Each structure stands twice: as structure tokens, then as C-alpha cells.
Structure 1
């Protein structure tokens, strides 16, 4: 339907009167308007005539919604919304009141944007966070990783029911078994419950920290955010080239703050024992066993280990 203003502006007075009467009769015969009148018998002809523009918009929006072309191509005057009519008594007379109400697609979009705002991603492909997740598909895709998937699902459910846990998860497994994917699923599901989170790809994060040395504000903001988010994931820990400053002052500071406060999660190709050996060696000072142990004291007691089995799925559809 074209706009009411466009229809009426193209006519002279006689045409306008005739077309207005035709339009009023057509609107009154619309199922939506008949349903409205049936629900509100107190509405008289005078109120309907005065509210003709609202009725027109009401019918037009609902017709557009019935043939919805998608949120991005929404033809309604207020995209993602439709006109809703109610009848309220103002003074001694009932009157039509129109409001713009978000449609289901707009509400879904708002929920998705709200989830995205709760998640920070550092060097992790955003597609891993944005693609649709199907719990049944995740569980059945590879039977060898089903026990790990079950543990992650139980953790999500416990957090939904009981609130933020003090311990996180340490997902250990070979390349391409879906460890990062499972952590993104966890992050996405709990973000929908209102929890904030961040996922950090360790090899690139450690390299980027070098440039942050020249930008103290950015470094401080990044470290503070990682301390404060509800859920923090260090993805592919053990694959980075550590230096003493990153290990002792950045990682140590973040983990020291979070332990006994908020859960931290990890994905790795290393066992905890192998990770300790990795953390004990830096490219500057060589092997420093006690410093590796100090950091592991902030990791191992605060995670449950999840063995992720299965085949390498990278490069597959």
C-alpha cells in the first residue's frame, strides 16, 4: 500500500471526498479492523473516522509484515517495527492509540547485538563466534569428542543454574579437534545469559603485547578488561613465544587477580605438565623452573581438565 499522504495529495476536492469515502469503507472491511471493532464495540464511527490515518498505517504495516522481505529490506516507516493499535478512554471518549512495536526479527537482532557487545575477541576469527550453533549437531559431529562436549554442556548448564563458577576448563587435545569451537559455543551460550567474556588467541596476543609497550593506556585497558570479564579464554596457550615480561607481569597479573574470583579457560595441545615446562622457558632468560611453577599455581588448581578427542576437522566443511 502506498502512503495515505501520497494518495490524497494527488486529488482535487471532489476526488478527495470520493476517494476518502472509498478508502474508509475499504479499511473498515479489512479483517484487522473488523477484529479491532469486535474487540472494542465502544469505538464509534466518529472515532474511526478521526483515526483513519492510524488505521491505514496499522493495516499497511501488517500487510508488509505478512510478506516480510527481511529486516534489512523492511518497507515499514520505522524499520523492524510495526504499528500496534490500542483503545484507551481519554476523558469521556474512547480513542485509538498507535504505538511502534518491534517485530520478532528486530527483537532477535537486538538479542544478538546484545550478546556480541558482551564478548571481546582478540585475534580469533569472528566467524567462530557469529555462526549459528546447534547443540545436537555439536554433540553428534564426532563421537570421539562426545565426552568432552558433554563436560562443556554440563558446565554451561551449571553456570546457568548456579551462577558464575570459580573454576574454569582446560581443553586439551590434538590440532583441529574443535577445542576453540567448543569454547566459542560456551562463551556464546553464557553471553546470552548476561555474562561478559573474552577469548584471546595467545600466539598473536603475545606478539601484539610488544607494540603495547609503546601505548600504556591501551595496555592498561586490555589487561584490566581481561581481569574483569566474567569468562576469560586463553586459546592455544603453549603455542606462543614467551618473554619474561609477558609471563610474569601480564599473564601473572591477570591470573593472580582472577583466581578465586572468576573462571579462566584454556585450549591447548599441551597437557598441564607439558605447559608448565613451556612456561618455564622464555626466549630471553632460558629455563626458569620456579617462575613456570608460580604461573602454573594460578592455572592448574583452578581448572578441570577436559580431554578433547576426535579427528582433525580443519579445512573440512
Structure 2
């Protein structure tokens, strides 16, 4: 078997190898980033160090920087997927250091944000909703305006009302909750979206395994609670007075923002809460529940309408959707 030093000598004496090596060396040293790095550190680098580091410099130039050669994070061409190279000078040698690329940073932030949004029985497409993806027709402008105002003005510990989004089925109330949750997650604010009919069914079954109190405490103390489709459940005195009532009472006392969606307006929801499954009429208990909901949220009608062209004038460069929306309002 040929020894490694003999192999290197043989390759070094090979004319084609020398030509290829010289071309690689020239291309590497003429790379704009390499030239800029060598110029920046010209007082610390000599020719001997450069020759010794040609391999590291070539490694740097042969990879994607700032995702400029990658179609996606999954299609990353670099040695370490999601990490791009940076030239560094350390201990009298030139080395390559790897940091997260822009796409990796965005993907990591998205995963962090998703962990901040907890949900129970909520479809995935609602959890993926964003303000940018909303169809803003004339019937939704007020709701989106108030939702955006809440997100931009939210500060933990300060009293701030949530929204009671009501309207017909399919107008986008739940999607708006998802968009609000995702914008809050960007501000590192935790929230929970809960589909009320399934929640109440689970609460009933939680009596058997003694987890009811634990689940109620979680709902009571969540920084932002979103109760989706309240009024769609088959109401019983127990779910109204022993589950929803204590949760909303605690959140009212602690000034914890609470959002609701419903097919009913306040008057219709009060009528729904008045009558139990057994047909019992309990007006005072329903009224007490509605007092909590009114205290916690502002009613906003959401209607389905064709998207309206808001303006022919060019929109200011305002950054993300929320800022752009308010720039338009000016």
C-alpha cells in the first residue's frame, strides 16, 4: 500500500493536479468575501498563514452564504444544514465558524412561537393563520383594526379588554383568533385557543380522573385565553356555573384578557345561557355570566363581504402587516 507522503509527492508532481490546485487557489483568493477578510486583517496575516489556510478558505467559498445558493432550509447545500460559514482569525490561524443562516433563524423562531400557542381541539389551519393571510373585506375591517390595536398595545399586567367576535358561521372569526395568537407569539406572549363545546365535554370526563381542578387552574391563569365558538355547546347548569363561571370570574378579578367567538351577539348568548338542557329557565345566572363576558370583552361584529380596495395610493414602507395597517389608517 502506498504511503500518504508518497501519494502527496506524486500528486504534487502531476501537472494536471498542479493546474487544478492553482486555479482553486486563485479563485479562492479572488472571492470577494475572502479578499475583504484578508484586507481587514492584513496586519495580522502573512503569506505563510494564507497558504496554510487555503483549505479553510476554499471550504468557506464552496458553501452558501446568507442562503444565496439554497432554495429552502430543507434544500440547504452547506456541510451543516441551516448553518452558514463565517471566516474568523484565531490562534494565528484562519478558521471557519458556522452560525445559523437566516432561514434557520426564522424556522427556529417559528418553532418557539408555536410552543407559545397552546390549543385544545382547534384545527391546524386556524393555528397557522396570520394577519397577512386574512381576507379583509368591508365587514372585517373593524374587527381586524381592533385586533391589531390589541396586539400592538398589549402589555402584561395592564388591564385590557379582549374581543367578543360574533357573526354568522364561516365569516372568519376563528381565523382571526389564530392570527392574533401568532402575532402575540412574536412578542413572546403565551396564549391558549380552546374550542368550547369540546372543552366542556372534556371537563365532564375529567371528574372521573380527578383532573378537573388542574385543567380549570390552567384556563384561569393563561395570560391570553381565547374561547372559540361559545354558545355552540349544549348548555347545562353545571358547565355554566361550575366551569365557565369560575374561570371567567377569576380572569375578571385578575384582569386577564379573554377573547370569545360566537354565532350569537350578547343578547342571543344570554338567551342561550338562560335555558339548560333540561329546559330550566335561569335568567339571573345567565345574566351574571354575561356581566363577566361584557367586563372581559368588547363586542365586534364580523361579517362576510367581498374584499374592498382600500386605497389607490401607494402604501408606506411600514414593515410588517400590523404597522402597515395602521399606516394606512393615518
Matching residue of 2:247: 254
Q: Which whole-Å deviations, capped at 9, do the CAs of 1:22-70 have from their partners, x for residues lacking one?
A: 3444422333322221222131122223333432321122369432031
Residue 40 (str. 1) matches residue 41 (str. 2):
yes
Aligned equivalent of 1:205 = 199
Q: Would you say 1:50 and 2:52 are equivalent positions?
A: yes
Q: How far did residue 192 of structure 1 move? A: 0.8
In structure 2, what is the Cα distance between the partners aligned to 1:68 and 1:254?
A: 49
Deviations 1:160-192 (A, max 9, x none): 6x8754321111212222211222111111111
> 1:184-263 counterparts in 2 under 5 A?
184-217=178-211, 219-261=212-254, 262-263=256-257
Q: Given that residues 86 and 98 in structure 2 are in contact (C-alpha distance below 8 angstroms), is that contact kept between their aligned partners in structure 1?
A: yes
Q: Contact 2:140–2:304 at 8 Å: present in 1 too?
A: yes
3-state secondary structure, aligned to 2:160: coil
Asked if structure 2 preserves the Cα contact closer than 8 Å seen for 1:148 and 1:309, the reply is: no
Match of 1:3 in 2: none
CA gap of 1:206–1:192, structure 2 versus 1, over 3 A, is same
Please list the CA deviations of residues 217-249 of structure 1 after superposition, one character each: whole Å capped at 9, or x if unmatched: 4x4443232222221111111010123332222
In the alignment, is the contact (CA less than 8 A) between 1:199 and 1:232 conserved in 2? Answer: yes
Distance apart, 1:264 and its partner CA: 0.5
Shift of 1:156: 2.3
CA separation in 2, counterparts of 1:151 and 1:28? 56
Query: What is the aligned counterpart of 2:298 among 287, 291, 304?
Result: 304
Other-structure match for 2:126: 128
- Farther-moved stretch of structure 1 (52-61 vs 100-109): 52-61
Distance 1:56 1:220 in 2: 62
* Cα distance in 2 for residues equivalent to 1:248 and 1:16: 85
Q: How does 1:1-317 map to 2 (within 5 A)?
A: 12-17=7-12, 19=17, 21-22=21-22, 23-41=24-42, 42-62=44-64, 65-88=67-90, 90=91, 94-134=92-132, 138=135, 141-159=136-154, 165-217=159-211, 219-261=212-254, 262-284=256-278, 286-311=280-305
Superposed CA RMSD in Å reads 2.8
- 2:328 paired residue number: none
- Note closer, same or farther for the CA distance 1:47–1:215 as it changes in structure 2 (3 Å cut): farther
Distance 1:166 1:155, change over 3 A: closer
Q: Which runs of 5 or more structure 1 residues have no equivalent in the other structure?
A: 1-8
Distance 1:16 1:225, change over 3 A: farther
How far apart are residue 108 of structure 1 and its match?
A: 0.9
For 1:132 and 1:258, the matched residues in 2 are separated by 26
> Secondary structure of the equivalent of 1:100?
strand
**For the residues of structure 1 that align with 2:224 and 2:117, how far apart are their CA atoms?**
9
Partners of 2:213 and 2:97 lie apart in 1 by 46
* Partner Cα separation in structure 1 for residue 182 and residue 64 of structure 2: 33
Q: Secondary structure at the match of 1:299?
A: helix
What is the TM-score normalised by the length of structure 2? 0.79
Number of positions where the alignment pairs a residue of Structure 1 with one of Structure 2: 295
Task: Show structure 1 runs of 4+ deviating over 6 A.
Answer: none
